Amino acid sequence: MVLGVGAQTGVDYDAARLKAMEPTVRAFCSAVLDHSASIGVRGEFTERYLNDMGFRDVEVIGCPSMFLHGDRLDVREKAGTLTPDARIAVNGSHTAMRSGGLHRIVERTHRRYPNLRYIGQNLTDAEQLHWRDVNSPAGRIKLMPTHPEHPMFHEDKVRVYIDPQTWFDELRDFDYSFGSRIHGNIAALLAGTPATVLAFGSRTLELCRYFEIPHQQLDATAPDTDPAELYEKADFGPLTGNHRERFERFTAFLDKNGLQNTFTHGDGGAAFDERMRALTFPEAVRPWIGNDPDELTRRFAWMYGRVSELSADNTKLKRELTRVKSAKSAKAANAPGIASRTSVYRRARRAVGRPLRRALQPVRQPSSKGDGTA
């Protein structure tokens, strides 16, 4: 069963770039439809894309994340205008920051709103905050607030959430959220916080259109845009008013495909919610900007665990290398001149050598100049 797949292209919905993968898409969709009644897609563009390839058993159902609360979606009413002391959350992909110009809007917002917080959404962001690790192409983009040289990093205005519940709980206290990340803003809406999406790709745009989430295209958004302008224009009536109809369409899709759900066949999630309330969830990952002993202890404990994991992996690879070498020697004895085309040793080095060397390197403390070196 496929619950909300999306084809990825630009906001112009030009499917030409997807041509090369068409044989794979055809094989995949054919296999899915051999075992299910229909394919659920995120929105209009993906529906048209599959229809054009001859697939008719396609239904627009959006994204399941929007139905966390079933047929309810309670977004707080806007309170006048955003004032300079408003708590604002912002999000954005590396691509939207680097080539979409989102960084200019973030920089201006940072200057005008002291209670701004950037929320990252991937492992690269988390590694930058936790270890100041910039050893990846994405990690070296200094326009990202998660980069150790960015002012928001040093002001402790960046977070990455390990669990959605912590994410919801903290966003509930914000006045507004905006940015190019669709699920960053869906998280805000699920927490009851008004949000606007600056669409930068087809999957984001078609979801916004289907759910009637306030949005506008990033390429049509001026660099000097103030979030107060976006907030003022946002209309949440269609989003909340038509939510129940979209939820019923989603559950009908589940029924058609023989999938039970807690809202139709259970207690509406009451027992699950009760168990969730009894749990303690991990705090957000925050920027490493100090030398507090407890912080250092936690970070070095994590590093020690990673070194132990890599050492165990290395031991397994060495055993596998010994086994393959023995097999290769035996084979060579029976068939002289025949050699393996792929070196297991080289594969082992590629798989574990670089991360192990990086993990074993001594950690240098940040300099007094705050250059973010670790």
Average pLDDT value for residue range 221-246: 97
Average pLDDT value for residue range 254-274: 93
The more confidently predicted of residues 213 and 137 is 213
Q: Are strands 215-217 and 39-41 parallel, antiparallel or unpaired?
A: unpaired
Contact 58, 29 (CB under 8 A): no
Q: Does the structure show a pLDDT above 90 at 328? A: no
| Alpha-carbon dihedral angle through residues 298, 303, 308, 313, given to the nearest 10 degrees | 140
Contact 116, 88 (CB under 8 A): yes
Angstrom CA distances, 270 to 66, 75, 169, 263, 367, stand at 18, 21, 18, 10, 51
**pLDDT tens digit string along 112-165?**
999 999 999 999 999 899 888 888 888 899 999 999 999 999 999 999 999 999
Beta bridge partners of 118: 90, 158
Task: Report the C-alpha gap between 226 and 243 in whole angstroms.
Answer: 28
Neighbours of 247 (CB within 10 A): 20
Beta-carbon-side half-sphere exposure of residue 121 (alpha carbons within 13 Å): 17
Q: What is the pLDDT of residue 303?
A: 77
Collapsed DSSP state (helix, strand, coil) of residue 120: strand
Single out the residue of 30, 325, 75, 279 nearest to residue 188, CA to CA: 75
Rg (CA), the chain: 25
Q: What is the pLDDT of residue 294?
A: 79
Task: Retrieve residue 295's tokens.
Answer: 């912080």
Task: Report the C-alpha gap between 62 and 278 in whole angstroms.
Answer: 31
Give one DSSP letter per residue of 56-71, joined into a string: --EEE---GGGGTTTT
Residue 373 confidence class, pLDDT cut points 50, 70, 90: very low
Q: Does the structure show a pLDDT above 70 at 361? A: no
Q: Is 62 left (phi over 0), alpha (psi -120 to 50) or beta?
A: left
Lookup result for tokens 């490493």: 288
Q: What is the pLDDT of residue 117?
A: 98
| Alpha-carbon dihedral angle through residues 146, 292, 280, 86, given to the nearest 10 degrees | -50
**pLDDT tens digit string along 74-123?**
999 998 899 999 999 999 999 999 999 999 999 999 999 999 999 999 99
Q: What is the mean pLDDT of the chain?
A: 89
Task: Report the C-alpha gap between 230 and 232 in whole angstroms.
Answer: 5
With a threshold of 0.85, does the pTM exceed it? no
Contact 61, 150 (CB under 8 A): no
Q: What is the pLDDT of residue 366?
A: 46
Collapsed DSSP state (helix, strand, coil) of residue 95: helix
Angstrom CA distances, 25 to 201, 204, 206, stand at 19, 20, 19
Q: What is the pLDDT of residue 293?
A: 82
Residue 298 confidence class, pLDDT cut points 50, 70, 90: confident
Q: What is the pLDDT of residue 335?
A: 65
Angstrom CA distances, 309 to 302, 303, 313, stand at 11, 10, 6
The more confidently predicted of residues 26 and 374 is 26
Q: Does the structure show a pLDDT above 90 at 228? A: yes
Contact 15, 52 (CB under 8 A): yes
Q: Does the structure show a pLDDT above 60 at 349? A: no
**pLDDT tens digit string along 202-211?**
999 999 999 9
Residue 334 confidence class, pLDDT cut points 50, 70, 90: confident
Angstrom CA distances, 112 to 96, 122, 225, 227, 229, stand at 21, 27, 11, 10, 13
Q: What is the pLDDT of residue 354?
A: 59
Single out the residue of 156, 177, 167 nearest to residue 82, CA to CA: 177
Q: What is the pLDDT of residue 226?
A: 97
DSSP conformation class of 351: I
Beta-carbon-side half-sphere exposure of residue 22 (alpha carbons within 13 Å): 13
Average pLDDT value for residue range 172-192: 98
